[in-house]
Amino acid sequence: MGQVVKIISIEHLTHDVIRIVAEKPVTLTYNPGQAVDLSINKPDWEQELRPFTFTSLPGDEHIEFTIKTYPDHNGVTQQLLSLNNKDQLIIHDVFGDISYKGEGIFIAGGAGVTPFIAILKQLEKTNRVGNNKLIFANKTKADIILEDHFHKLLGNNFINILSEEERVGYEHGYITSDLIKKHTDEHTKYFYLCGPEPMMQAVEKHLSSLGVSDHFIVKEAF
Ligand SMILES: Cc1cc2nc3c(=O)[nH]c(=O)nc-3n(C[C@H](O)[C@H](O)[C@H](O)COP(=O)(O)OP(=O)(O)OC[C@H]3O[C@@H](n4cnc5c(N)ncnc54)[C@H](O)[C@@H]3O)c2cc1C
């Protein structure tokens, strides 16, 4: 049993990422970094629950999601692309392992940046962005979600790495232990990881080779 909410707006942020704003269920509570199981209130789709992270803040009037869609694959995200502000979503249970513990480096792959959108929004609101850094791995520049936003918020503490495009000002390839080491300084206490499983496994190996203890790793696989 979930709560039915009306969609307020849907817009594209990149070629395959959309931002959905919807009504906030009256009794809903969540923390920045948490996700919720969501389904579409349409025949055949109400039971198709998928997890998405709130990119709004708990105190906001509405809820917002930032969703990478798979247009060629007959799934929930493909359906979301065909919705408009007459449609409804169903909001189910809230969960999620990522929360802010202290300064460090956020390491995201693709849509894995969504918990960090919420956490950094919260830090910005409370003037605590400090020396936090974001290493954001994508295939190409066109895939970077909210590039301008992060650039304004973090300046040189926003590091992009592109696996399928070489560009001046952007690291190239996959995240390495050298790249993590290069950006680790006296302010780095925690490492926050979120992205696809293979990327997570690789980054965890790098952190372990750098001697980072599990206690300082906060993570969730997408
Ligand atoms: C806790 C948590 C929070 C999350 N938060 C977010 C979020 O905020 N934003 C976000 O974008 N995602 C998020 N995700 C990931 C998101 O849940 C999935 O991308 C989503 O469930 C995909 O649903 P789907 O029905 O479209 O695809 P599904 O049918 O569930 O299949 C999706 C998978 O199929 C693969 N695929 C893509 N195209 C094809 C194809 N043509 N044929 C076969 N397989 C294909 C993709 O690799 C994809 O992972 C989160 C995941 C978790 C676990």
The string of pLDDT tens digits covering residues 169-202 is 999 999 999 999 999 999 999 999 999 999 999 9
Q: Which pLDDT score is estimated for 97?
A: 86
78 CA: nearest ligand 1 atom: 26
Atom of ligand 1 nearest to the CA of 54: 8
pLDDT exceeds cutoff 80 at 1: no
pLDDT (mean) for 66-77? 97
Q: Which residues are bridge partners to 160 per DSSP?
A: 136
Residue 13 token pair: 């942020």
Sign for the pseudo-dihedral over CA of 85, 87, 93, 95: negative
Report the sign of the C-alpha dihedral through residues 13, 83, 110, 116, in that order: positive
Residue 212 clears pLDDT 80, i.e. is over it: yes
**163: pLDDT strictly greater than 80:** yes
Q: Name all residues whose Cβ lies below 6 A of ligand 1.
A: 35, 50-53, 65-68, 70, 72-73, 75-78, 96, 111, 114, 220, 222
Mutate to test the pocket of ligand 1, among 31, 34, 52, 192 (most ligand atoms within 8 A of CB): 52
Please give the average per-residue pLDDT across 93-103, as a whole number: 95
Atom of ligand 1 nearest to the CA of 76: 25
Q: What is the pLDDT of residues 135-159, one digit of tens each?
A: 999 999 999 999 999 999 999 999 9
Atom of ligand 1 nearest to the CA of 68: 11
Task: Decide if 97 contacts 58 (C-beta within 8 A).
Answer: no
Residue 73 pLDDT level (bands cut at 50, 70, 90) = very high
**Predicted model pTM:** 0.95
**Region 74-98: what's the mean pLDDT?**
96
Of 31-35, 82-86, 205-209, the least confident = 82-86
What spacing in Å lies between the alpha carbon of 162 and ligand 1's midpoint?
Answer: 21
Question: Domains (ranges, CATH) in the chain?
Answer: 3-95 (2.40.30.10), 104-221 (3.40.50.80)
Is residue 111 over pLDDT 90?
yes
